Amino acid sequence: MSLLGRELSDIRRRLHDRKMSIGSVLKIGIQSTTAIRDLHKIGFIHRDIKPSNFAMGRDQKANIVFMFDFGLARQIMLPDKDGKMKLREARKKVAFRGTVRYCSLNVHLYREQGRHDDLWSMFYMLIELLSSTLPWKGMARKDSAHVKQTVSDRILLAGCPDCFGDINNHLKSLTYLDTPNYAMFQTKFTKELNKLKIKPSGPFEWNEKGILKQETSAIAENEKDVKVEIDKTGDTDTGRVVDESVESEESVGETETTNLAGENTLEIFNTNKK
Going by their DSSP bridges, the two strands 217-219 and 85-87 should be labelled as unpaired
Q: Which of 10, 17, 38, 48 is catalytic?
A: 48
Does the active-site annotation cover 48? Answer: yes
Distances from the Cα of 40 to the Cαs of 26, 47, 180, 219, in angstroms?
21, 11, 10, 22
Give CA 13 to chain center in angstroms.
Answer: 18
Residues annotated as catalytic are 48
